[in-house]
Amino acid sequence: MAGHSLTKGRVVALLAHRLAILAYVAFALFPLYWLLKVSVTPNKLLYSEGIRMWPSQTSFEHFDFVLKHSEFPTFFKNSLIVAGSTALIVTALASLAGYALSRFSFRGKYWIVALMLLTQMFPLVMLVAPIFKMLSPLGLTNSLTGLVIVYTAFNVPFATFLMQSFFDGIPKDLEEAAMIDGATQFGAFRQIILPLTLPGIAATLGFVFTAAWSELLFSLMLISGNAAATFPVGLLSFVSKFSIDFGQMMAAGVMALIPACLFFLLIQRYLVQGLTAGAVKG
Amino acid sequence: MASIDISNIRKSYGIHPVLHGIDLEIRDGEFVVLVGPSGCGKSTLLRMIAGLEAVTDGEIRIAGKRVNDLAPKDRDIAMVFQSYALYPHMSVAKNMSYSLRLRKMAKEKIASVVAGAATKLGLEPLMERRPKALSGGQRQRVAMGRAIVREPKAFLFDEPLSNLDARLREQMRAEIKKLHKDLGATSIYVTHDQIEAMTLADRIVAMHGGIIQQVGSPLDLYDNPANLFVAGFIGSPGMNFFEGRYIKLNGKSVFAPTGGVELLLEAPANLEEGSRATLGIRPEHVVLGADGPEAQMAAIDLVEPTGFGIILHLTLGPVSLKAFTLDRRFLNATGEIAVRLPGSHLHFFDESGRKV
């Protein structure tokens, strides 16, 4: 910022702006900070030190316990399998369906869209019992496959609309040019349109992954026992009849954040990039 | 290279007809321009030839082969889009070679063909750039390059210059013409710009309301417009029209504009006596500062210098009239001026708008 262009009023405005952003960031990140703080507080200080911003002594005893003596690694692995599979399957289906909705007109399109919207209108709690009733005879309760199926079903409609809006943003001329150049419709989709939709695909993957990663209601209802439990359910196992192991629970929570963070680090390049720039006059 | 035959093509979107039975034969190597106002169906016709729009009725043949039901990729035609439609994630070289790679052409051959086209279009220093790093004119060239590497049966152009500024448009127009001279490829070019149509075309197809109004050489359309639409569309500034009646007075042929001064004609027009008609004359054919018995006085409303010439807006009786002259003496003309409408340059159109 060039110094001479800063009048007093502008400095104040700039300062107020930055302070507002800072306040927001602090507000949003404080729970995460508290999670981290509790997770490194030794048990003996947890209730004795009162409310402090940082414990007088830190230790990794909770992490150690969670990794070695709890079933957390199983929960973590289960969650990774469920959320990863759901994200991949949903994104693949939503890409194809979103492309069809964006580019083709076909009989029944209106009704398909209406029905997909309809699925988004029910509170999920209403559907727990019927879904349990459906999955139970198929042997899909208490199984990761069952969870993947349920999560996929619930995430496909929204992900489809999301992908459709990304496809709508890509000029139709591009695939027409590809088809005249000698590509089939699917070839044009795969070689021209799909690479340009990477930001959209990344966003959809991220959205579905985090949704499935933190889902509690269905995994709690459909899974019994620790073998197939996902990590949100697993966190509840730190709540016992007589006490809550806050330290261990927070340590598990911190570790559960890692995949989501890694995932967004991986895809952030695509989220900010406008890949279609320069395609057509603009 | 190939001929393209279009017979009785119709197109409807639902119940809305867009093209009403188009017949057109395009010869091998010919440069045909489809021209007309927005919504006249010219782009739709082009897209049907390309295979991007389904044919409702009729037949399209490329090199004698019926292509109605062929996918665009099997028609062996190249198209330059108004938006250029360059693949944004590919370099210029990759953009130009995409079609050849799809055809599994040998790598060395692709490289030499692409290099040849790049030289022809002056694109060599840009080959590794992405489209977003190119200017409008450069993008336009890449789009042309992508078309010519294919050596297709025909080139289709969909208003390729309308996104460029005036100077660049002029330059690219000349380049397209040169390119066509070099390659001798059958080309169909859609535009609403009549200057592009006049300068590029071997034959112009003037369209309006989904119907072909006239097909002919540029000067044919200019000198002998088949109807009121073509007469008004071709030429700038546009032709002057006077509505009125064709009558005989003392054995002489006279055109009586509605409410205007009667005009004595040198020769009888091919119109029935007493019938309603429209008279047309191009602004450049109006004689200014005339004397003699046929001269009429017109009021000068406005003088527009274009640099090249001068456009005068006149009022002759109740009708307005434009005149175009290269004579700078009229730059400061005011008040009234004597004008004459020479008989050899008059066009008559009957009540249905057809030229007679």
- Dist CA B107 CA B97 (whole Å): 10
pLDDT tens per residue, range B289-331: 877 777 888 999 999 999 999 999 999 888 889 999 999 999 9
Q: Are strands B186-191 and B154-158 parallel, antiparallel or unpaired?
A: parallel
Distance (Å) from the C-alpha of residue A101 to the closest C-alpha of chain B?
18
How close does chain A come to B220, measured CA to CA in Å?
34
The shortest C-alpha distance from A265 to chain B (Å) reads 22
3-state secondary structure of B282: coil
CATH 3.40.50.300 residue ranges in chain B? 4-233
Return the number of other C-beta atoms located less than 10 Å from residue A162's C-beta: 19
CA distance B69 to B155: 19
Q: How far from chain centre, in Å, is Cα B54?
A: 25
Report the percent of chain B where pLDDT is more than 90. Answer: 74
Query: A159: burial class by Cβ within 10 Å (0-12, 13-18, 19+)?
Result: buried
Q: What is the reported pLDDT for A149?
A: 94
Q: Cβ distance B57 to B17 under 8 Å?
A: no
Query: Quick check: A264 pLDDT over 80?
Result: no
Confidence at residue A277, expressed as pLDDT on a 0 to 100 scale: 42
Q: Is A12 on the interface with B (CB under 8 A)?
A: no
Read out DSSP for B159-213?
STTTTS-HHHHHHHHHHHHHHHHHH--EEEEEES-HHHHHHH-SEEEEEETTEEE
Q: Categorize the per-residue pLDDT at A272 as very low, low, confident or very high, splitting at 50, 70 and 90.
A: low
Nearest to A203 by CA among A257, A276, A270: A270
**Domain-wise residue ranges, chain A:** 3-61, 70-272
Question: Is B153 near chain A, with CB under 8 Å?
Answer: no
pLDDT band, residue A125 (cuts 50/70/90): confident
B123 phi, psi to nearest 5 deg: -105, 0
Question: Quick one: tokens of B242?
Answer: 């006077």
Question: B135 at the A interface (CB within 8 A)?
Answer: no
| Contact criterion met (CB < 8 Å) for B87 and A171 | no
Region B4-233: CATH code? 3.40.50.300
Q: Does domain A70-272 have CATH number 1.10.3720.10?
A: yes
pLDDT digits (tens, 9 = 90+) for B322-337: 999 999 999 988 889 9
Integer CA distances (angstroms), A247 to A41, A66, B52, in order: 7, 10, 64
Residue A89 CA to residue A156 CA, distance in Å, equals 9
**Does A278 have pLDDT greater than 60?**
no
Q: Which residues have a Cβ under 8 Å from the Cβ of A143 and sit 6 or more positions away?
A: A228
Spell out which residues of chain B touch residue A275, defining contact as CB-CB under 8 Å: 88-89
Mean of pLDDT over chain A: 85
B102 and A183: CB-CB below 8 Å?
yes
pLDDT higher than 80, residue A51? no
Q: Is the pLDDT at A52 greater than 50, yes or no?
A: yes
Averaged pLDDT of chain B: 92
- Structure-token pair, residue A142: 């208490």
Q: List where CATH 2.40.50.140 sits in chain B.
A: 240-349
Tell me whether A196 touches chain B (CB under 8 Å): yes
CA distance B20 to chain A (A): 24
DSSP B323: E
**E strands of chain B, at which residues?**
4-13, 16-26, 31-35, 57-62, 65-66, 77-80, 154-158, 186-191, 203-208, 211-216, 240-249, 252-257, 263-264, 276-281, 287-288, 296-305, 310-316, 319-325, 336-340, 347-349
- What's the CATH class of domain B240-349? mainly beta
- Tell whether ipTM is more than 0.95: no
pLDDT of residue A1: 45
Q: How far apart are CA A188 and CA A196, in angstroms?
A: 11
Q: Do A177 and B81 touch (CB under 8 A)?
A: yes
- A60-86 mean pLDDT: 88
How do residues A163-214 score in pLDDT, each as one tens digit?
Answer: 998 899 899 999 999 999 999 989 999 999 989 888 888 888 888 998 898 8
Spatial separation of the C-alpha atoms in residues A13 and A183, rounded to whole Å = 55
- The C-alpha atoms of residue B248 and residue B257 are separated, in whole angstroms, by 14
From A273, which residue of chain B is nearest by alpha-carbon distance? B89
